[in-house]
Every structure is written in structure tokens, then in C-alpha cells.
Amino acid sequence: MPYTITEKILLKHTPGKKDIHPGEFIWAKVDLSLANDITAPLAIEEFKKAGAKKVFDTKKVVLVPDHFTPAKDLKSANQAKMLANFAQEQNIKNYFEIGSMGIEHALLPELGLIKPGDLVVGADSHTCTYGALGAFSTGMGSTDIAASWISGYVWLRVPQTIKFIYTGKLKKWVSGKDLILHTIGDIGVDGALYKAMEFCGPVIENLEIDARFSMCNMAIEAGGKSGIIEPDEITRKYLSGVRRSAFSVQLKSDKDAVYEKIYQYDVSKLEPQVACPHLPSNVHPVTGRLPKTAVGHPGCPVCNGVKPVNQLNKVSVNQAVIGSCTNGRISDLRLAAKIFKNKKVKSTVRTIIIPATQNIYKQAIKEGLIEIFDKAGCIISTPTCGPCLGGHCGILADGETAIATTNRNFIGRMGSPKSFVYLSNPAVAAASAIKGRIAHPEEVVG
């Protein structure tokens, strides 16, 4: 029976089964179970309510305090303390304190904790990031995570798979972030509801690993259960630098595997994309040059709910954020530094750079990127989710507008419910910080 890569991974993790099919409920063995300082306290409480004494495997539970850390107030300090105490009580090997930690979905791959074919669950919706390495990874509620800590298994329904094929050649300044924004803009925030999103085609085959992380990270913004890319030589090269143990990349969908839908995109003419308030699907090209067939999006300050016009370059910004589990990796910082070098951010724009992990921070120092950011007038934060979820280090006030490399722009996501968040790749965010309005990188560096 032919299978997709997702179905193969799930079958492998369901002991005693000889076949598997979409829609079937399974009891699957987990390789890694993750929680953070917001979601772990709930899981810890449920773990103890169940009368559990020990986690199923002290090496397969991961705790990362990254959302409200360094602690922004007493409540967040107490939540982080619960993680530290539980990790000590349970002798959990993979607990990462500030100073050695990072944003969870950048940190775990960096530490070599994920490999192709793994089944990873996390009490965070962006756990789907690890599909970039050929793993089945998905977000779950804290109660499900507590159950996985006790049993080592999770109960889930096998998702159908949607295949996305990307062809053509990407233009300069167009990245994985733009591919996934374009895709979400096409299918909508529920276009892949509880589906595995399989990204493939010549463009994906040539995409660097960080760009693959960005794409799989935002599968959830289309409603996806997971995002996944078949592991290949690019995957092997990345893993050989971060893993000490053996791994295999021989994992592919069968040629005659059954897909619910197949989408094909020729991205040769794709411009950098911007998701306008208040949905990741409200996507416009940064140039504002839209097809005549385009329709308006209710609540969008660019098109005012009617036929879009060339107005993105008229949107002023008060803040630019470059970071997050979507675009806080070293390649993202290098890209932003190309824009900021020998330039100054507009005095009216607060520009916040957040390296995704401590190692990325140190690498940025080594390469001189932090100095470039500092000279440009940016501020640099320790690794944290920070403003992405309206946590700290960059909350928006009433009426303020931000452009960010984060993954969500819902009402009130970054602070005031009367604020506006636009999503973009790091180059667009950096150019916009310099111009004081949403701008194409070509306006700054050509």
C-alpha cells in the first residue's frame, strides 16, 4: 500500500499495526515531548493530578522557558520556577535555563534533538517547525502533553496530506517566509485544517534549511496539523553539524501516494509578501502591484475591504521586530544586516532584534552583525519570544503599527487590540525600519 511520508512516520510509531489510513485514530509512540513556561505549568498540574510519579523517559521530555523570560513579572517568574522545580524533581535532561536556552523551535534543532522520521509533540502550536527536518511534529494541548509524559504515547487522528509543489526560480529578496505567506494567502487560514502540508518541488529542493524551518513553522497558520519536507542532502548536511548520533534521511513519500489535494505554484514572479492585519492570509505583494482579479479583505487598512490599491508603501510603522521562532535564525540576521549596514533606522521607528538562541546571538557577535545593528540604531534582546505573543520587550500601544518577522498578526497579538501588525521577511522588515514605512529592500540597497 502506498504511503505519504507522514503516514510512513505515523505507522512506524504505532506498534502492532501493519497498515494505516487517513482518518484513523492511533495510539502513537513519541520521540520527544515539549512544553514551555506558559504551557508546561498546566501540564505539570495535570501530571500530578493523575497521580504520576515519574516521566516516561527523562531524556525525551523537553522544558524551555522562552515565552515570558527573562521573567517580566511575578506571575511569569513563578511559572518559570515551576519548570525549574519539575525538571529537578524528575531529573529531566533537556531543561534549558536562560543563558543557555533559546526560542524552543530554534533551540531543539540546533541541539540535534530532532532527526528525520521522529514523532515530536509540543504544547505549542508552532511545534510543526520540525517538519523541516523530515519529522512529524505537531502542537497539542497541555493535558495531552501531560499524558505523553506519563505514557510515552499520544492519541491522534491520522491526517490527510495536501501536497504543495513549487517551481520556477526565486527572485532576490524572496524567501521561505514569502513562499508560506503566499500559500496561506491562497488557501486561507483554514485551507489545510488538520491536514499534513507536504512542501516539495524544485524550489524546495534548493531551499536552505532555515527557510524550510520558516515554511513548516507557519503550517499551523493555514490550519495544518503539521508541515513536512522530505529530508535530503541539505538536511543531511545540517544534521551532520548538530547531531552526534546516527540518522537516516532515506524517507520519502511513495510515488503513487494518495493526496487530498495538490497545489502547484510557479513562483518565478513572486515578490516579497506582506500579511496585513488581522490575518496571516491577508497577503499582498510588498510592491502593492496586485492582479486585477484580486479581491478586498474586510478590516484590511490597505485595501479597506474593497479592491486593493497600491498603498502598502504608504503604511507608516512605529516598530520593527526581527526575530521569533519563524525568522530569528542566523541567516535571517545576516539578511537583515545586509539592509542595515551603513544605514540608520528612522528615528520614529523602534527596531528590535531578537536572536532566536544564545548560540545564534554569539555567532552574530562573531560575524559583526550585532555591531551593524547597534550602529543602525536597533536594540538587541536576549533570546525570547517576547513581543510575538504580546509578552514583553516590545508591546504595541493603541493605534501603533509594527512590521514583524513573526508568524501571527491577530487583533491584539502584539499588545493593544487597537494596534496593527504586518508580517514579512527580515529584509522587508529591515528596509521598512529604515524608511519608516513598509518598503521593498530594493528601495534601500538596490
Q: Tens digit of pLDDT for each residue in 328-383?
A: 999 999 999 999 999 999 999 999 999 999 999 999 999 999 999 999 999 999 99
Q: Which residue has the cell 509540543?
A: 122
Q: What is the mean pLDDT of residues 204-218?
A: 97
Q: What is the mean pLDDT of residues 74-88?
A: 94
Residue 300: its pLDDT value, please? 56
Residue 295 has pLDDT above 60, yes or no: no
Q: What is the mean pLDDT of residues 198-204?
A: 98
Q: pLDDT tens digit string along 92-127?
A: 999 999 888 899 999 999 999 999 999 999 999 999
Q: How far apart are CA 269 and CA 136, in angstroms?
A: 31
List all residues 6 or more positions away from 193 whose beta carbon is below 8 Å from its beta carbon: 223, 224
Residue 289: its pLDDT value, please? 52
Residue 290 has pLDDT above 90, yes or no: no
How crowded is residue 368: how many other Cβ atoms within 10 Å of its Cβ?
A: 11
Q: What is the mean pLDDT of residues 16-40?
A: 95
Q: What is the mean pLDDT of residues 432-438?
A: 96
Q: What is the mean pLDDT of residues 310-335?
A: 93
pTM for this entry: 0.91
Identify the weakest region by mean pLDDT among 162-176, 263-277, 279-293, 412-426: 279-293
Q: How far apart are CA 54 and CA 198, in angstroms?
A: 36
Closest alpha carbon to 259 in 13, 12, 2: 2
Q: What is the mean pLDDT of residues 45-57?
A: 96
Identify the weakest region by mean pLDDT among 138-147, 203-212, 241-250, 338-347: 241-250
% residues pLDDT > 70 (the chain): 93
Could you tell me which CATH class the domain 1-270 is placed in? alpha beta
CA–CA distances in Å: residue 309 to residues 272, 286, 296, 300, 379: 17, 12, 9, 11, 34
For residue 52, give the C-alpha cell. 504520576
Residue 257 has pLDDT above 70, yes or no: yes
- Amino acid identity, position 389: L
Q: What is the mean pLDDT of residues 311-333?
A: 94
Residue 39 has pLDDT above 70, yes or no: yes
Q: How far apart are CA 295 and CA 298, in angstroms?
A: 10
Q: How far apart are CA 423 and CA 157, in angstroms?
A: 31
List all residues 6 or more positions away from 91 whose beta carbon is below 8 Å from its beta carbon: 58
Identify the weakest region by mean pLDDT among 68-82, 89-103, 253-267, 294-308: 294-308
| β-pairing verdict for 161-167 and 119-122 | unpaired
More confident residue, 126 or 292: 126
CATH topology of domain 273-445: Aconitase; domain 3 (3.30.499)
Identify the weakest region by mean pLDDT among 118-132, 173-187, 307-321, 362-376: 307-321
Kindly list the domain boundaries of the chain, sorted by start residue.
Answer: 1-270, 273-445
Mean pLDDT over each residue of the chain, to the nearest integer: 92
